[in-house]
Amino acid sequence: MTEQETHISPQPNGWVWTTLGQISATTSGGTPLRKHPEYFGGTIPWLKSGELNNGLITNFEETITEEGLNNSSSKIIPSGTLLIALYGATTGKLGILGIDAAINQAICAITVPEELNKRYVFHYLSFYRDTLLNSRKGGAQPNISQQIVNEIAFPLPPFPEQHRIVAKIEKLFSRLDDGVETLKKVQLQLKRYRLSVLKSAFDGTLTAEWRETHKAELEPASILLQKIKEERKKRGNYKELSFSDTTDLTELPEEWEWTRIGDISDVNPRVVSEFPESFEVSFIPMRSIEAMTGKVDLSIIKPYEEVRKGFTHFLSGDLLFAKITPCMENGKVAVVSNLKNGVGFGSTEFHVIRPFGKIPSKLIFFYVLQESFRKDARQQMTGTAGQLRVPSRYLSEAVFPFPPLPEQQIIVGEIERYLSVVDETETMVEQSLKQSERLRQSILKKAFEGKLIPQDPDDEPADKLLERIKIERTKMSIKQGKTAYGK
């Protein structure tokens, strides 16, 4: 691999290009057979690639016994060794062992000679990760190999300059980290504020002043509920959902009424429409709904013939609620509008909620978007592990604080007004975090181009350093044998 392939410009005088394999030794580990329980639970820390944290590693999910070590290709790696993940989604993640430990086969251990600054190598591999990801090979789970690691093109500066570069990188990164920490605190505060807005909307606090001003004009919600009940009885689609106990429900404003979502909407209404086969409709898979925002990608259009069977049917104005975990827990909920010809089909993992009459879909959308609602829904899921779903009965019977109809529109408008400010701020924070990461990469790029700090002409040129490392490299080796832990 050439320096051009690493996206680094030519190095200054005194530097030299080499490869990681020419200046270090690498090895990987293994996994004891799981069918032998006696191989696990011993005193030897055993590290998997998913545990690499891009920092110092001192905590381990599992341990193995000496018997497990001796009957596998795993091996003890000494504290201080640099590690890099070889497989799957973790490819390129780094770590430095804080104690002696065994590793599995998805980790490559890199032993760096004393003539090389380990933190310099660490930061370079961090910078190099995108290039490394492009080197992955394989099908469903592409990976890299020790050979690819050994062939990584490596810019070698004089030894004293390595230390100066590392010091400068970590000083700048420390400042960046402080800024990132502040931004993440702001994100947490915004999340709490969002939850607070939604809570105040459905306990009546958000519109208390408006309600007091318009009190004389408001028809109690109980009257609207009775009208809905009578109308639904005429249509033959009404089912009585009574309250057996209201003692745990919070007190609502005088004009409001506790009801159930199934009393004010149809949950998974029957499909009664038939269309010509070539009739075009919107198609919404689960991935088309953005979590927590209600944003929907409507770019997929399909003929009715393709989706008439095996998909969920809905209309413009309906509310889609992801019923399967983790999509439900992540807040995949949306009011769909502007559907092609007003008709949509999509994932069978959606529940469809169609509010009755003039009740705004957004009112129910904001209610079910609350973390407290989704947390309760999680407790009611049925099915097997990994395939848990919220039953439609739960949505039908979920209690709902029902305001008078005019106030419903005011609540939706106020929530949108407050949350639009939150959304704008969150966008700015996310942009700042992305800018921080771009700046981090820019710092690393300058560092490995030799542009981050001034060079010292008195430093010994790196080509002489490389000669010494190559000599030492022939003497150096990682503990290839099955050594006893701690020795």
- Whether 100 maps to a domain, the answer reads yes
Tell me the two tokens of residue 273. Answer: 């429409």
- Whether 454 maps to a domain, the answer reads no
Judged against a pLDDT cut of 60, whether residue 481 lies above it is answered with no
Cis peptide upstream of residue 326 (ω within 30 degrees of 0): yes
The alpha carbon of residue 15 and the mean position of all alpha carbons in its chain are separated, in whole angstroms, by: 40
Number of domains in the chain: 2
3-state secondary structure 345-411: EECCCEEEEEECCCCCHHHHHHHHHCHHHHHHHHHCCECCCCCCECCHHHHHHCEEEECCHHHHHHH
311-326 per-position pLDDT tens digit = 999 999 999 999 998 9
- Whether 93 maps to a domain, the answer reads yes
11 band by pLDDT with thresholds 50, 70 and 90 = confident
201-258 per-position pLDDT tens digit = 999 999 999 999 999 999 999 999 999 999 888 887 667 766 655 667 889 999 999 9
Domain boundary among 400, 424, 442: 400
Compute the mean pLDDT over every residue in the chain, rounded to the nearest whole number. 91
Phi-psi map region of 54: left, alpha, beta (phi>0 left; psi -120 to 50 alpha)? left
Q: Are strands 343-346 and 280-284 parallel, antiparallel or unpaired?
A: parallel
140 in the same domain as 283: no
18 in the same domain as 149: yes
Quick check: 8 and 155 in contact, CB under 8 A?
A: yes
Residue 43, classed as helix, strand or coil, is: strand
Query: CA nearest 211: which of 366, 417, 404, 361?
Result: 404
Confidence (pLDDT) at 244: 53
Domain boundary among 368, 400, 432: 400
- Whether 241 maps to a domain, the answer reads no
The CATH number covering residue 287 comes to 3.90.220.20
108-130 per-position pLDDT tens digit = 999 999 889 999 999 999 999 99
385 in the same domain as 467: no
Confidence (pLDDT) at 478: 44
Average pLDDT for 25-39: 95
Tell me the two tokens of residue 436. Answer: 């921080």
152 in the same domain as 269: no
480 band by pLDDT with thresholds 50, 70 and 90 = very low
471 in the same domain as 367: no
- Whether 299 maps to a domain, the answer reads yes
Domain boundary among 377, 400, 423: 400
**Which one is predicted more confidently, 486 or 214?**
214
| Host domain of residue 79 | 3-158+460-475
Residue 141, classed as helix, strand or coil, is: coil
Q: What is the helix, strand, coil percentage profile of the chain, to 5?
A: 45, 20, 40
Alpha helices in 236-327 (DSSP H): 261-264, 304-307
355-414 per-position pLDDT tens digit = 998 999 999 999 999 999 999 999 999 998 778 999 999 999 999 999 999 999 999 999
The alpha carbon of residue 298 and the mean position of all alpha carbons in its chain are separated, in whole angstroms, by: 23
